[in-house]
């Protein structure tokens, strides 16, 4: 049986497009039915169905390919864990068309570690910029969350139905397409207002 090349592509949000990664993997000679994907899952999330299927499709002698290491993992530990698992099974790891062997020479191991650290660093930068952007938006009054009075007409109906004992909080949430916590907070506020 001839060795196969199995590809993996990932994007962190459902809005992002996988086309560039899939095209790059196809350019490496990987058949479209051998390219596994994950939509809307970060590299730090180890519970990725596409990754599990891609890793399971690899046999000894095969090559597992990604366009960039950060598509595979966002931490040095996770990258090493996946690479070590592949090496133990006799599967080569190709990053952007260059085959890396984590059990190989010190130079290759050093390069792999540097790539993994860069991927982890990029993830940290993204999280830091997101937190910073949210902090600035909050300071400018643009990030306030939902107003507690976002459903005033419905709230009155919730209170009546709950007071009549006709529906549970879960049923009210389902009936009005809101979260149970929204109904709970409205009922709790109403209870506090009647006590004062």
By annotation, the residues acting in catalysis are 12
Angstrom distance (rounded) from CA 21 to CA 46: 20
Neighbours of 77 (CB within 10 A): 10
Are 66 and 95 within 8 A, CB to CB?
yes
- Range list of H helices, the chain: 19-27, 49-57, 69-72, 76-88, 106-139, 152-163, 169-176, 180-195
Query: Which of 24, 28, 66 is closest to 48 using CA atoms?
Result: 66
Query: Which of 132, 100, 104 is closest to 116 using CA atoms?
Result: 100
63-66, strands of its sheet edge to edge: 35-38, 5-10, 63-66, 92-95, 98-100
């Amino acid at each position: 049986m001839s060795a196969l090349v199995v590809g993996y592509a990932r994007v962190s949000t459902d809005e992002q497009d996988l086309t560039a990664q899939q095209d790059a993997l196809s350019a490496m000679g990987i058949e479209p039915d051998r390219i596994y994907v994950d939509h809307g899952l970060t590299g730090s999330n180890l519970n990725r169905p596409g990754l599990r299927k891609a890793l399971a499709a690899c046999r000894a002698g095969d090559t597992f390919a990604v366009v960039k290491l950060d598509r595979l993992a966002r931490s040095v530990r996770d990258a090493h864990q996946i690479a070590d698992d592949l090496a133990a099974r006799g599967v080569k790891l190709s990053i952007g068309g260059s085959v890396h062997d984590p059990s190989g020479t010190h130079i290759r191991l050093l390069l792999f570690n540097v790539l993994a650290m860069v991927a982890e660093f990029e993830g940290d930068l993204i999280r830091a910029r997101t937190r910073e952007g949210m902090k600035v938006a909050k300071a400018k009054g643009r990030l306030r969350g939902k107003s507690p009075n976002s459903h005033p007409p419905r709230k009155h109906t919730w209170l009546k139905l709950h007071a009549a004992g006709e529906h549970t909080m879960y049923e009210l949430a389902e009936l009005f397409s809101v979260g149970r916590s929204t109904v709970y907070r409205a009922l709790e506020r109403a209870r506090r207002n009647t006590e004062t």
